[in-house]
Structure 1
């Protein structure tokens, strides 16, 4: 069982980013010293919130993260060129000594695709083709490629990753079609944070069945999931600490067509958040672990919540919950 942290590096417009990034470095140092296994950054362009880009931020964190895995959760792969991504990611993998995890997704925000001049309807095929090209580039061999979206004429990647054949690739998806595609590729599916327990458990069961049917065994397989985490004396106390902040963060998504975060908030709050006492949180983890999940990536930061509260949450989890899951 592994436990990681999702950095919520999204801030109110005009906030002091130098100070916020300094807080992030200190936060990651705490997470490192508490025994967490991984730390991930998020990715958006032209956001309503001030959102530092993940690859430069993760590079800043390399020397402060110990032996933890560093990754993207997720990188919107269709918005970039595979040559750019391949060399950037290989560079970070080199800098970190082979600790990078590439979490990818196809994206959903119209403003991003429109601003890059990319037809949003092509996002899945662009993502799949870009990843395939990146994997070929990471071999170090000369690559000739003539595809639907990209063309390369006898080029070779100048920087190769430490991890061979390449860094682990996790893929995010929020629907059965995407999940089935990931299963057929034999790649880890990164389950989203805002879904209810039965959806997460049921779709993992389907994914594992389809993955096995495609010929992939589960030896060493990773089954990761994002969850929002607040540990306190009780569920009521947890919502008193972070309830307003987590709702404020999810409220930002409404403008991107996700109005269910407003209309269905009470159900999401009760069924999707890991908020509660140490016993409550341990029970939720056991339930999801019994279903197969084995790498929990927790967000304990939300819009407007002081960093001191986030540190208290990850400290209490490490002290009172994490030891219950050590071998």
Structure 2
């Protein structure tokens, strides 16, 4: 069982990003020393919140991350060209000594696609074709490609990743069609944080069945999931600590058409958040692990929550929950 942290590097407009980055350096050192396995950053452009870009940020954190995997959770692949992404990702994989995990997704925000001049309806095919081109480029051979969205003519990637044939690719999706497509490709499906338990468990079962039917085995397979985590003496105590902040963070999505974070908050609050006592959190992890999940990536930061609280959350989890899952 592996446990990671999703950095929530989103701040109110005008916040001091240099100071916030310093906090993230200290936070990274702390979770490294506590024995966490991975560290991920998020990706958006033109956000309502000030959101530092993940690849420069993760590069800043490499030397403070020890042996943890680092990665994107997720990178919106359709918004960039595969040559750009291939060399950027290969560079950070080299810098990290082969510890990079490429988490990708198709994206959803209209203003991002409109500003890049990309038809949002093409986002899935662009993502898949971009990944195909990147993987060809990472062979080190000359690549020619003529597809629906991209054309390469006898070119070779100037920087290759340490990991062969390339960094592991985790793909996010929130619907059954996308999840089954990822299963057929044989990539890990990165399950989202805000979904209720039965949705997460049921879709993982469907994903695994589709994956098996496509001929992909499960030896060393990774089944990752995002969850919001707050460990306290009880659910009510955890919600007292972080409830206002976590709701504020999810409230930012309403302007992007996700009004269910407002209308269905009570259900999400009780059925999606990993909030509660160490015994509560242990039971939730065991439940999800029994369904097959084996890499939990926790968010312990939310809008307006003092970083000191996040330190306390990761400490208590590492001290009172994590040892129950370490052999």
Aligned mates of 1:132, 1:18 — CA distance in 2: 36
In structure 2, what is the Cα distance between the partners aligned to 1:244 and 1:67? 34
Q: Displacement of 1:244 after TM fit? A: 0.2
| Residue in 1 that maps onto 2:284 | 284
1:186-205 matched pairs, under 5 angstroms: 186-205=186-205
CA distance in 1, matches of 2:274, 2:215: 34
Distance in 2 of aligned mates of 1:23 and 1:194: 26
Instruction: Look up the SS of the partner of 1:74 in the other structure.
Output: strand
For 1:172 and 1:39, locate their aligned partners in 2 and report how far apart those are by CA, in whole Å.
16
Matches within 5 A, 1:90-129: 90-129=90-129
Q: CA deviation at 1:295?
A: 0.0
Counterpart position of 1:169: 169
In the TM superposition, 1:212-231 aligns within 5 A as: 212-231=212-231
What do the CA deviations read for 1:232-280 (whole angstroms, capped 9, x no partner)? 0110100000000000000000000000000000000000000000000
- For 2:71, the equivalent position in structure 1 comes to 71
Cross-structure match for 2:59: 59
Question: How big is the shift at 1:95?
Answer: 0.2
Moved over 2 A (4+): none
SS of corresponding position for 1:297: strand
Equivalent pairs, count: 327
1:222-261 superposed matches below 5 A: 222-261=222-261
Q: In the alignment, what sits opposite 1:306?
A: 306
State the shift of 1:79 in Å. 0.1
5+ residue gaps, structure 2: none
Deviation at 1:46, TM superposition (A): 0.1
- Tell me by how many angstroms 1:183 deviates: 0.3
| 1:272-295 alpha-carbon deviations (Å, 9 max, x no partner) | 000000000000000000000000
CA distance in 2, matches of 1:160, 1:153: 18
Relative to the length of structure 1, the TM-score reads: 1.00
- Inter-partner Cα distance in structure 2 for 1:215 and 1:18: 48
Q: Distance in 2 between matches of 1:58 and 1:19?
A: 16
1:308-327 matches, cutoff 5 A: 308-327=308-327
Distance apart, 1:59 and its partner CA: 0.2
Counterpart in the other structure of 1:293:
293
Which residue pairs with 2:265 in the alignment? 265
Task: Output aligned runs, 1:125-136, within 5 Å.
Answer: 125-136=125-136
* Mapped pair 1:4 → 2:1: no
CA distance in 2, matches of 1:279, 1:180: 33
Q: Distance in 1 between matches of 2:186 and 2:91?
A: 25
Residue 122 of structure 1, CA deviation: 0.1
What is the CA-CA distance between 1:80 and the residue it aligns to? Answer: 0.1
Q: CA deviation at 1:129?
A: 0.1
Within 5 Å, which residues of 2 pair with 1:81-96? 81-96=81-96
| TM value normalised by structure 2 | 1.00
Give 1:317 deviation, angstroms: 0.1
Match of residue 26 from structure 2: 26
Alpha-carbon deviation of 1:206? Answer: 0.2
- Structure 1: distance between partners of 2:193 and 2:200: 9
Residue deviations 1:69-94 (CA, integer Å, cap 9, x gap): 00000000000000000000000000
* 1:118-177, Cα deviation, whole Å (9 max, x unpaired): 000000000000000000000000000000000000000000000001000000000000
The match for 1:178 is 178
Distance of 1:256 and 1:25 partners within structure 2: 30
CA RMSD for the aligned pairs?
Answer: 0.2
State the secondary structure of the residue aligned to 1:32.
helix
